[in-house]
Chain A
Amino acid sequence: MGSILIFIAFASALLASVSYFSAHFGKTNAVRFGRFFFHVAAIATISSAAFLLYLIITHQFQYTYVWNYSSRDLPFNLLLSTFYAGQEGSFHLWAFLMALIGIFLVTFVSKRDGAKDRYEPQVMAVFTLLQSFLLFILIVKSPYEFVWQSFPGDVQVGFVPPDGRGLNPLLQNFWMTIHPPILFAGFSALAVPFSFAVAALMKNDYTRWLKLAMPWTLFAGMVLGLGIMLGGYWAYGVLGWGGYWGWDPVENSSLVPWIIIVAAIHTMISEQTTGRFKKTNLLLCMLAFIFVLYSTFLTRSGILGDASVHSFVDPGQEVYLFLVVFLSLFSIGGIGLIIFRMKSLAVPKEEKSTELLSRETALFIGTITLCAAALVIAVGTSWPIISKGTVDPSFYNKMNLPLAILIAAINGFSILLKWKNSDEKQFIKSLYMPVILTAAATITLVIFGLDDVLMGVFAAASLFALFINADNIFRMVKTNSMKAGPYVAHLGIMVLFLGVIGSAQYSQEENVSLPIGEPKEVLGYKLTYLKATPFPDDPNKYHFNVAVEKDGKSYWLQPVMFYSDYNQGVMKNPDYAALLTKDIYISPMGLEVPEKYAKDDKINIKKGETADVKGLKVKFIDFDRSKFNRDDMASGKENIIAAELEVTDGTMKETIIAEQHIHEGESEPVEVQLSGNTRFSFFFTQMNLQEEAQVEIAVVDNLAPKKEEPAETLVATASIKPFISFVWVGTGIMVLGFFFSIVNRYRKLRQENETIKHISGNGHESKVHTNGGNKKPHSKHKQHA
């Protein structure tokens, strides 16, 4: 049933696109078909998503996708994450969000078609075409494949596995439940400005698309920005990177479209007031989505397999090829259209002169800087494709730091400048206050330890912009708070920048060994490892409780370590205490448990030789390989090797077999004793097969007085990260700013639209009627109310 829904969705999306395209070429009636087919496609896509979710929740393991990423023991919220844990599902999530956004988009554009400048056919033609491409991927790589289709020969038809393989524990947390949907919502939203840009080129009309696309572009910027930073938070709080950003290809490739769309927002505003940047805006709106496609290609095609921590599986030749076609078709098509329309896009000569000291010049330079940052990241990330090799993450830091300084400074200046041209004296006068405040704040920071020149400049630039934005917000709140959106967003960015400076440059880190119950002085804090406690709901997972004390205040940190069957290894999750000015962060490395034997209990014996130990004669006869399997060994499964020992105690002679369990390169000796004598314990601790066969045996005299044993010790990396909370707070403020701007832009658009409707409603009633079909008067009615 799922596959049928997907196929219906794909076919209708394609039909919708065809109908809308024919509407563009003159068949106005086709709009109705387009709208109908789009809704069929959307409903089919949403139903298919609901169906897949139903399969996951009801544990239908005969579907390969469900079997691969789910299991019976997962709680509901994690079953939700299962939906997009794999490639098929995440494409489906994307298609689902496209359908959802499309429903709002079609209502939005169909309501806003004033008499002659209708945008619906063109915008929806492009949007539904994008949709059908995505849905086609789901046909090729279907989440509805049965296990016997995926593994013909291995599995008989109709077999239902009793349980699934489970979800990767790294993905089993709240942040991973919400991060992908938000990121993909951002990707989907970027399809809207792309569609508008192409639509404008198709219509060869560049007046209204900006206004219509604006709220969508802001929405895309907000959602994508939030999605990216949520990923950062996941890396910090769960993965234990110790930071929020690692310049990993997956992160980079979603950052690039974000930077481009942010640049586009600025030039779009500029065009609305000055009429410039026509080509730039079309190009940037297209590039942002093209980079989304490119990013999908980079991370999904397996092409960066060696360079990324989380590059996805190689999806197979067809998908790879299809992604290439998808990407190149839309980039060549989009850029081609701009070139095709070059003549009508040319700006009349007399409009060209601009004063250097004007807001649009500042925005122009800002845009160039943003694009430069995007270029740096894009080239760095793509480097493994261009040449054999990767780029060190320090490259991005080095390159982006000066650009970030420039961006912060330009933001401050541009707000003080006016459109067209500014009065020089007035401008300089307006600089006084912010500069004085910045100088004071920067000097304070220097006193508190800001000692790097570039970082100091960066801090100063950020503070400068921060004060100017704050001043504007303060003034706006008194009059009209909705207009403050841009300033709030910029304030957020500057707070984020300050957080980056603090946490990137001034983090302190130390490796510590914490014996149980013994306080240790680390980075000015007293750390005490108290005990390990199992999770209330999962006895196999442990919290490693660490008390952190300073100046009478204490915090309780609980990093986590557990053995995961899914990953066949130890998973480690950090924990941190968020203080106002810094985070105390503990990332666990391992736990050392006391060994059963001391160092000087160990002795090396060559094959056939006898050694005197503690009054005993121990002879190493040979290895016992009866329980050993070389194939298992190579694959890392548990294996047993043993040493055959002949022990002579006075007159008693006995042969014992000392076993060693080997698992994943780590060996665990098993204690053996003589049959009639429990005084001595023997451990086969090491073997040496090279050159001469030789074993290391530990012989422990249980009656001998015990030496002081090392206690259970938690090994961890502790760090202090100043102002890292600014990064999260800054992101929050920025998102809020975006939100205000969207509301403000949308309101303006509605007011304008209503006045248009009033005019056209009075004069051209019949014309509107035929254009819009029979639904038209209805929606118009709503507008008036």
Chain B
Amino acid sequence: MNKRYILGGLIIVVFLVVGFFAFKDSKIEYANFQGAAQTHKTCQVKGVWVKDKESKFDASTNQFTFVMKDENNQEMKVVLEGAKPNNFEMAENVVAKGKVTNGYFHAKEVLTKCPSKYEGKGEDVQKSGS
């Protein structure tokens, strides 16, 4: 065999082994609040923001707190490390990444999903400009 193929192959093997272990650590599974409460790993929960429950940003701790309802309609307090995300108000769904500690969801990141973010609805056409 050619030497350089051996060298190339070696890189690939080392790389695959390292990759496998790194991958196992960084995988984040989807879950609901119930599942998130049972596991101690970081997971991501999809749900909606419960708008009529209080939400606030605490400047001293730099945490944004809100109530979220997951797909099983289970509600839980979510504490996000950071300010309220852009587009939060118009998001149809939010995805929180983090883990459950002390009975609330401690989120490192909250993504906002806006299926209608960039698209209007029929009823809006009539209203526009008025």
Residues of A within 8 A of B (CB): 61, 64, 67-69, 85-86, 147, 150-151, 153-155, 159, 161-165, 168, 170, 239, 302, 305-309, 311-314, 352-354, 356, 361, 364-365, 368-369, 372, 376, 383, 388-392, 394-395, 398-399, 402-403, 406, 511, 513, 567-572, 589-590, 592, 633-636, 662, 664-667, 713, 715, 717
Contact = CB atoms under 8 A, between A and B. Distances in A.
Interface string B107-118: 000011101111
B18 A399 contact: yes
Interface of B: 2-4, 7-8, 11-12, 15, 18-19, 22-23, 25-30, 42-44, 46, 49, 51-57, 59-60, 62, 66, 82-84, 86-90, 93, 95, 111-113, 115-126, 128-130
B57 to A, nearest CB: 5
SS class of chain B's interface: helix, strand, loop or mixed? mixed
Nearest to A398: B22
Contacts of B54: 665, 667
Given A306-B95, A365-B8, A372-B12, A165 B89 contact: no
A634 B29 CA distance: 29
A283 B40 CA distance: 44
Contact of A388 (B19, B30, B128): B30
Given A151-B125, A162-B128, A305-B113, A85 B83 contact: no
Contacts of A715: 57, 59, 62, 83
Given A155-B122, A513-B60, A570 B84 contact: yes
Contact of B3 (A356, A636, A666): A356
13 contacts: A86-B118, A147-B125, A154-B126, A155-B122, A159-B125, A306-B44, A364-B4, A567-B87, A567-B89, A589-B83, A665-B49, A665-B51, A666-B55
Given A153-B122, A567-B90, A589-B59, A398 B29 contact: no
Contact of A163 (B19, B29, B46, B128): B128
A372 B15 contact: yes
B26 to A, nearest CB: 3
Contact of A369 (B11, B29, B121, B128): B11
A718 B22 CA distance: 31
B2 A394 contact: no
A299 to B, nearest CB: 13
A365 B11 contact: yes
Nearest to B7: A365
Contact of B121 (A151, A313, A361): A151
B89 A392 contact: no
Nearest to B9: A368
B128 A589 contact: no
Given A68-B120, A165-B128, A391-B28, A368 B11 contact: yes
B83 to A, nearest CB: 4
Nearest to B4: A361
